[in-house]
Structure 1
Amino acid sequence: MAAVIDSEIKRQANLRSLQRIDPKILDLCTTVSHVVLYEFSITKKTWEKNNIEGSLFVVKRQDNPIFKLVVLNRSSNENLEVPITSTFQMQKADVYLIFRDASNTNEAVRGIWFHDGEERENFVRYVENVVKTMGKVEEMRAKEREAKSPPENIVGSNDAGAALLATLNLGKASNTEAAAQIESSPQNQLAAAVSAASLNSNLVLDKKSLQLSLLSLIQDERFLDLIHAQYIKVVNARNAREQQARRESDK
């Protein structure tokens, strides 16, 4: 429990630092302890250090771009801020993670070196989920623009898209709320997470939107951590009961 509280205090401190740079940041989605930015020199055919290194964050904002990659630079006042949209692309190459926006062919080829390989894998999984979800949201909204009159009693694409985006962020809980989440049952945890997807717009998800929301939830590492913690708790309790029953039968 103390580890959960310490982690939340650190997360809130990082969030405040990021909000000083960009007041429209709503929440901190994922963190990497240390990275170094490189840029590929076309003339020299080599990677060159870009004088940007520090902690890497994915943040959620209140307007476009909804998601953004930020590196708080320890080397100078020049931070790295890159929008994460449906056209954001990543590729692993040796020790680097190459990234670019596919909609901008003139953008320089940049790569991120990660101090921790596991953090890199977690970061890649999360950003892939964001990019995939942003693509679904854009597809929903495109279909809505094409439709002349959406059927009644069915949630509009904008509402479904808002629900999908909401599921990508499970990091707002306070210290008390974080502890309560871990103690709640899997059923309550799932219901609370899905409810969070529709809090802002008071919408009721249709079957398809609910399915997409659940798919996004199950790909979120923090959501899985909460469910796994509860699972371990249930298994340990069951084993304890079985051991107690065996001791009593041996008497």
Structure 2
Amino acid sequence: MTKEANSTMPDQNNPELTKQSYNYAVLSRYDPFIAQIICTSAICNVYKFNIEQAEWDKINCQGTLFVYSRAAKSPDNIGDSQKFPYGLIVLNRLNEYNFSLGVTPLTISKRTGDPEMEFKLEDSFIMAQAADGAMYGLWLFDTKDRETILNTLQWCLSQSM
């Protein structure tokens, strides 16, 4: 392989860079507006609150959680990439259905009149109040990741746009 062709490939001597490049490539298949991966957690289980039963149902979703920023591909492109400038996705290891949420900063929600999102820590779960009113519980295996992911999601909500 020539040096020129090799310059566009991830540095094989830097495993972290190779892993980040691979993760970015995989995520871009699910969200073409991905701009940057902000943080990750290796193992996440997803639960949804069942209002009728007043109990938590475990969704058949377990995998790596990613929080990332999103960007429009062109200045004329408006829509989800403006409404949801951040995203959360759990790449499911159990089946082909991933869990994803668009994350809308509070300034956008207030401007558009859309319901506000909220993230908070309760016991060992990150509670996610989605814009559609659904409540999700995110359980992260690595206890250190819980605070990092929560702080990142709250940071996303606090951004002025």
- State the TM-score, normalizing by the size of structure 2: 0.73
Shift of 1:73: 0.8
Q: Secondary structure at the match of 2:14?
A: helix
1:159-194 deviation line (CA, Å, top 9, x unaligned): xxxxxxxxxxxxxxxxxxxxxxxxxxxxxxxxxxxx
User: Does the Cα contact within 8 Å between 2:46 and 2:137 map onto a contact in 1?
Assistant: yes
Whichever structure has more helix as a proportion of its residues is 1
Q: Which has the higher contact order (CA 8 A, sep 6+)?
A: 2
User: How far apart in 2 are the matches of 1:98 and 1:127?
Assistant: 11
Matches within 5 A, 1:16-55: 16-55=25-64
Query: Structure 1 residue 121: deviation in Å?
Result: 0.7
Q: Percent identity?
A: 26
Aligned: 1:97 with 2:126: yes
Q: CA deviation at 1:81?
A: 1.5
Taking the TM superposition and a 5 Å limit, the aligned residue runs for 1:1-251 are 5-63=14-72, 64=81, 65-86=84-105, 87-101=116-130, 103-104=131-132, 107-133=133-159, 136-137=160-161
Q: 1:45 Cα deviation (Å)? A: 2.8
Which deviations, in whole Å up to 9, do the C-alpha atoms of 1:15-67 show, x marking residues without a partner?
Answer: 11001122221221111111000012233332221101100001222231221
The amino acid of 2:100's aligned partner reads E
Residue 127 (structure 1) shift: 1.5
Q: Which residue of 1 aligns with 2:108?
A: none
Tell me the amino acid that sits aligned with residue 34 of structure 2.
I
Gaps of 5+ in 2: 1-12, 73-80, 106-115
Cα distance between partner residues in 2 of 1:66 and 1:43? 32
- Deviations, residues 59-106 of structure 1 (Å, cap 9, x unaligned): 2222312211111011111111111112320122222111013x53xx
CA contact (8 A) 2:121 2:150 kept: no
Residue type of the alignment partner of 1:76: N
The residue type equivalent to 1:100 in the other structure is Q
Q: CA RMSD in A?
A: 1.9
Between the two proteins, the alignment pairs up a number of residues equal to: 130
1: CA distance, partners of 2:154 / 2:134: 21
The structure carrying a bigger strand percent of its residues is 2
Report SS of the residue matched to 1:44.
Answer: coil
Unpaired runs of 5+ residues, structure 1, are 138-251
- Deviation per CA, 1:182-208: give whole Å up to 9, x if none: xxxxxxxxxxxxxxxxxxxxxxxxxxx
C-alpha distance in structure 2 between counterparts of 1:130 and 1:109, whole Å:
18
